[in-house]
A and B are shown apart, each in its own frame.
Chain A
Amino acid sequence: MPLRLLKYGLSRDYPASEDIPATPELKPSYDVVIIGGGGHGLSCAHHLAKYHGITSVAVLEKGYLAGGNTARNTTTIRSNYITPQGIAFYKEGVALFETLSQELDFNVMFSQRGQLTLAHSEATLRSFHSRAEMGKHLGTRTEVVDQKTVEDLVPSLNMDYGGALEILGGLWHADGGTARHDAVAWGYAAQASRRGVEIHQRTEVQGFEIVGDRVEAVKTNRGRIACGQVLIATGGMNYDVALMAGVELPIRCYPLQAMVTQPLKPWLNTLVSSVSLHTYLVQSSRGEVVIGGGSDPYQLYSTRSTLDMKEHLAEGAVHLFPFLQGVRLLRQWAGITDMTPDYSPIMGASPLDNLWLDCGWGTWGFKATPVAGKRMAETIASGRVPDILKPFALERFETFQLLNEMGATAASH
């Protein structure tokens, strides 16, 4: 038994460690106002406080802490992207996850058991080679594997030899993994608040006071806050919040659904996703099998679930693992994703001098939580966008410098 647990067993009273302080009164002004108390906002707050000495920070969350997409995603962490810019960015993200539990002194359960993406067609296999070549060149562990290796990695897979969906090979990404999504946010919240950052739950932004090219103040349901710098990191609400500041982002919102089975004894060791079936599966450390797929096919701001998507995901899961027929589903849910035209985030400057963007995360936001927070904190603290973020600037849509991630499949967030 780890020694840390002794203090619980031997203490008379529960030795509480307050991860999330009760919401304090709002002050009239802060150096930095972070809109959105999800993983990204909290990560940025932590990095501002710990590495840049900026502690006059308010994180505003309209609901409960990390209750948006941080709470709803299926926790995939990977860096096997298509473009060199994307790979470089997410590679740094994976590296930060590798030491995150130590950084936060909070176990985020980063479980780097690898991700296997399946190809049922030559076209998919070709795209895997593309990702593997770029990934290897940039120093990530990404390789195309043959049928035999696929079978060795996941022996219970239906290879469908000779069938229309025969698995021809896979993209094996040994760096891939999952983490406990809530813990990431809570860990950042605990660290940030211990350094003086204020976290305001049930605090909704209702507008901005803009003078010239600057945001003077943020208007909330609990009052007005004057601000030095402002960050928008509100996930599915990014379009909406930015619009209040007069900034129209090229973002469309689509629901993304997922579901989970009852707990089972572990049988699936890696993340498995299928491009053709738009389905992926991962078994959590609780034993539940989390199943997800692509976004809904039309824009919507609702987190309702649909029967059609559930049936579709079940079809894919049962095709890959036919013995799951008898396994029971426990729950389905949805988040709202903010999709950009090139399936890549928008990070950096906005048309306003002191308003910063951490938006357009679509279905890939969770895996970027540490790196986006770190790099946005650097941006806000220095007023300069670091090179690693430059390709993700909002202006790219005006100059046609799109990131060529559009081939990225929705089936492997």
Chain B
Amino acid sequence: MNRLPAPFGTRIDRTRPLRFSFEGKGFEAYAGDSIASALAASGQWMLSRSFKYHRPRGVFSMNGAEANTLVQLPSEPNVAADRTPVSDGLQVSAQNVNGSLAHDRDAIIDRLGRFLPVGFYYRTFIGPRRDSWLKFWEPMIRRKAGLGVVDTKAAHRHFDKSHLHCDVLVVGAGPAGLNAAIAAAEGGADVVLCDENPEVGGSLTYGRHDPAMLADLTARLEALPNLRIMTGTLCNGWYEDNWLPLIQGDRLYRTRAREVILATGAIGQPAIFRNNDLPGIMLGSAAQRLIRHYGVRPGQKAVVLTGNDEGYAVALDLVEAGVSVMLVVDPRVGGLPGPFEAELHGKGVAIQKAVTIDAAEGRGGHLARVRIGGRWVECDLLTISVGEVPAWQLPCQAGAKVGYDAGIGSMSLMPARGSVQLAGSVAGDNGLEGAVAGARRSASIALQRLGHVVAQDAVLGKAKPSCPAHVQPILANAKGRDFVDFDEDLQVKDLHNAIKDGYREIELVKRFTTVGMGPSQGRHSALATARIVAEATDRTVAEVGITTARPPVGPETLGVLAGHHEPLERRTALHARHLALNAAMKPVGAWWRPYFYGDARGAQKAVRDEIMAVREGVGLLDVSTLGKLELRGPDAGEFLDRLYTMAHANQPVGRVRYCLMLNEMGSVVDDGVAYRMADDRFYVTATTGAVARVYADMLFWNAQWRLKVDVLNLTGAFSGLNVTGPKARSVLEALESNIDFGREAFPYLSGREGVVAGVPVRVMRIGFTGELSFELHCPSSLAPALWDAVMEAGKPHGLTPYGLEASRILRLEKGHILIGQDTDAITTPDELGFGWAVSKRKPFFVGKRSIEMRARLGQSRKLVGLQFPAGAGDIPGESCLALRGNDPVGQITSIGFSPTLGSYIALAYVHVDDATEGSRVTVKCRDGALVEVPVVGHAFFDPTNARQEM
């Protein structure tokens, strides 16, 4: 066991032991352990096999930043073992292994590496046959691709979303973030401080610092009621206008901050030398995290590589944790020792200067020794402290530019002006003193921008770096395995070879080699890549740059992004009535509508019976999904005149007119009816699918025309019932009403307001079915009562509720078009034969100029009726092509069997020269058979309209 006694192990609760398994073997842990720390405590350092070469990999940062620690949970792939807490009974396994983690058969690929150079897959796998890639090579590569496995049977999890607003959002609760949040909150701002770790403090919780400092800051934090602390919360992106997703567990906080302070810290960088990827080689900060957070001794015999004083602190920590520190390797030449180095001198640890480590070797998948100046030193732990880069992702998303500071061999950030400030090491503020100064500076700027009064001396400049920094050389090895990118198994020579192949721009290097495209998204490789490319192409690192930092910052689940999204569903007020009548309900757009009534097995008969009921008796249809718009104001008539093709300003009160809407291109986009209820009041219907757009367009046009009219969308507020059939009048006359439904009193295409069965209604005589029809519209809350009354009154007349399918056939028999089905994006009224619906007298309506022009340019197709002889064999389906010769000139838009006529009928676009009644058109059936069909008029049934006008 590698456990250390308290006070080491601040995150673990030793009173709560847990058990879990890894690769089928049982392990012990404490509550608070991460998977990686618990495994490390038991000496299990290898966590995964690498992407390409299947090399053993283990902990590197202990900060969840790389593919090394990705493991598989039963229903969750690619889980970071160094960030994910252990839970009791958790089953963890390794990913991307062929066999087991310890014995991975694909480890052989590591030996074949020289045959698989960078981009090798572009150069081969092409032949020998045309489809060799698809049939042979790709399946082979796909088997080797990917890391984790998805469980397609995974149980549904609950995710949700919430909103947050604050004056100042501080991201990162390290020393800089803590100080900035406190300063901003003390200055009076409403502050949210978030950090992805389970506690505040950042490096103060694992670095070699006086514990009093964190205790003092925590006490000040807690005294501030206007400061909200969100730990375990990842700020995973910056979007325009300070719109930031904060992810806490399974919840996404969509956060709007007036000011943002990014104190996201810096990312420790690896050193590049042969076999630098062995388990046992980790960042100095990773060793410190293991020791202080988890009470885990990171090794037995350690070598410390350091280019700064921090590494000496690591060495001191290792000594305290009982690790034998064999050697501290410090490549720097000269300079004064820092405080930790001075302290280490008293501990009897050997220090070797002006040399560095150029190779490592492993045994049994773990570090065994390192080479320093030609000498091998045995060790099972190598800690690396050779420099860091600012955590550039969030700043760059917020517009910061990346530069290169040759003095420190690292990137520097130049923030964009505006509401995002940087503080601490991300801003290049050096050490704790620098972090505090940076925090005060950024908080002051934020407070000033918010309009708070800030003392002048608080706005400080940047602290100067204390001493020249060490720039770690990139030690390429002739034999390779000097990894630049652990995720993608890329070595120095891979980048050089890509450049030799002509991929000289950094983005091309990335795309050709895939450097930086793995789970760590360049955290550990971007700087080294830029340096290598700069050197190889004879440019500066600044000229080469780094690739764009795109969101998210860290991996985030699709579940947390999706939340508990459900598709929009709408039900009419009569939904329960339909269900009670055993309706087969179908979704149509957002609405659920009755398709027909009765058992699905008898669908065909049910639809036929419903049609015949309408033709011979009376039917009832729920038309509540229709768009219902009310226009009020003195200009309402004028407004409709401009919007629709027919004349409405002169429409008498009490009359109903068809209305046809075009867009500016002159294409048909909607139709409906307009009922003039008063001089200054129209009730207009729109098609179910188009009403939202029609309503918006009405408001849009009127924002430009500025006519005196208001538009009200009553689609949900009102419901509609269509009573239709030869006996419709009898049914309505049987109801108690102040409306005279008599033939003379209530003629075709007129409307009346009144009360039917105690329900206030507006009634229109229109005829989609071609039969005598009354459409009753009423407030939705009263629709069930009206439905019940109509059903009751209809009983003696055999009133039959009918569904959408019967309605479609009924309208087809009458030759009525459905917008969107019988029209497309370029349909003109002329193509529909709708000249009658277009006013010739109005000087203007939307689309008028365009249809005139299009008429002059000539018409190529026309919508016609096709009637198939009774008993015809080959019947085409919807969308089957109308041909001229072999050229497709049109398509069937609607087709169905008419029980009334005893044959199939269709609407179809045909060539304009074939559109006259009696012409014969060739249609290609779905199975390829060609049939000839005669053209007839649109109205297959009752072309003289005698029935609907009776």
Contact = CB atoms under 8 A, between A and B. Distances in A.
Interface of A: 1-2, 4-6, 8-9, 14, 16-22, 64-65, 67, 71, 84, 98-99, 101-102, 105-107, 109-113, 120-123, 126-127, 129-130, 132-134, 136-137, 155-156, 163-166, 180, 182-183, 186-187, 190, 201, 261-267, 285-288, 304-307, 310-311, 314-315, 317-319, 321-333, 342, 399-400, 402, 404, 406-407
Nearest to A267: B150
B124 A2 contact: yes
Contacts of A132: 879
B853 interface: yes
Interface string B514-558: 100111010000000000000000000000000010111001111
A6 to B, nearest CB: 7
A133 B881 contact: yes
B881 A134 contact: yes
Nearest to B74: A326
Contacts of B888: 84, 134, 137
B125 A2 contact: yes
A262 B555 contact: yes
Nearest to A325: B559
B567 A165 contact: yes
Q: Which 4 pairs between the two chains have the least Cβ-Cβ distance?
A: A287-B146, A325-B559, A20-B502, A314-B561
Interface in B885-916: 887-888, 891
A133 B561 contact: no
Interface string B682-725: 00000001000000000000000000000000000000000000
Nearest to A2: B124
Given A262-B78, A305-B551, A324 B558 contact: yes
Interface stretch (B113-121, B328-336, B381-389, B740-748): B113-121
A310 B561 contact: yes
A120 B928 CA distance: 27
B148 interface: yes
B406 to A, nearest CB: 23
A267 B147 CA distance: 12
A133 B926 contact: yes
A59 B155 CA distance: 53
Given A329-B557, A331-B521, A304 B240 contact: yes
Most central of B156, B512, B561 by chain A CB within 10 Å: B561
Contacts of B562: 311, 314-315, 317-319, 325
B567 A323 contact: no
B303 to A, nearest CB: 33
A183 B122 CA distance: 7
A399 B505 contact: no
A133 B122 contact: no
Contact of A67 (B507, B552, B556): B507
A2 B115 CA distance: 10
Given A5-B115, A65-B505, A265-B148, A285 B141 contact: yes
B202 to A, nearest CB: 24
A328 B825 contact: no
Contacts of A84: 887-888
17 contacts: A17-B501, A20-B502, A101-B133, A106-B126, A120-B587, A123-B820, A129-B878, A137-B881, A156-B152, A265-B150, A266-B146, A267-B149, A287-B146, A288-B146, A322-B154, A325-B559, A327-B558
Contacts of B77: 262, 264-265, 326-327
B145 A263 contact: yes
B88 interface: no
B124 A21 contact: no
Contacts of B243: 307
Nearest to B880: A133
Contact of A166 (B112, B503, B587, B854): B587
Contacts of B854: 400
A344 B61 CA distance: 50
B563 A262 contact: no
B369 interface: no
Nearest to A166: B587
B127 interface: yes
B145 A265 contact: yes
Contacts of B511: 71, 182
Contacts of B850: 400
A120 B587 CA distance: 9
Contacts of B559: 314, 318, 324-326
Contacts of A322: 154, 156
B133 A110 contact: yes
Given A64-B507, A400-B854, A323 B75 contact: yes
Nearest to A138: B888
Contacts of B103: none
A265 B147 contact: yes
B145 A266 contact: yes
B851 to A, nearest CB: 10
B785 interface: no
A402 B133 contact: no
B497 interface: yes
A110 B134 contact: yes
Contact of B565 (A105, A285, A305, A319): A319
A315 B159 CA distance: 11
Contacts of A109: 121, 133, 138
B130 A264 contact: no
Nearest to B237: A307
Contact of A16 (B252, B500, B552, B568): B500
A305 B123 CA distance: 34
B592 A164 contact: yes
Contacts of B587: 120-121, 163-166
Contacts of A330: 519, 521, 552, 555
A328 B502 contact: no
B878 A262 contact: no
A14 B145 contact: no
Given A134-B881, A263-B146, A111 B156 contact: no
A152 to B, nearest CB: 15
A325 B154 contact: yes
Given A121-B588, A404-B826, 4 more contacts: A5-B117, A16-B500, A64-B507, A67-B507
Nearest to A1: B115
Contact of B504 (A22, A112, A318, A327): A22
B599 interface: no
Contacts of A107: 121-126, 133
A8 B117 contact: yes
Contacts of B558: 261, 314, 317-318, 324-329
A325 B557 contact: yes
B223 interface: no
A142 to B, nearest CB: 12
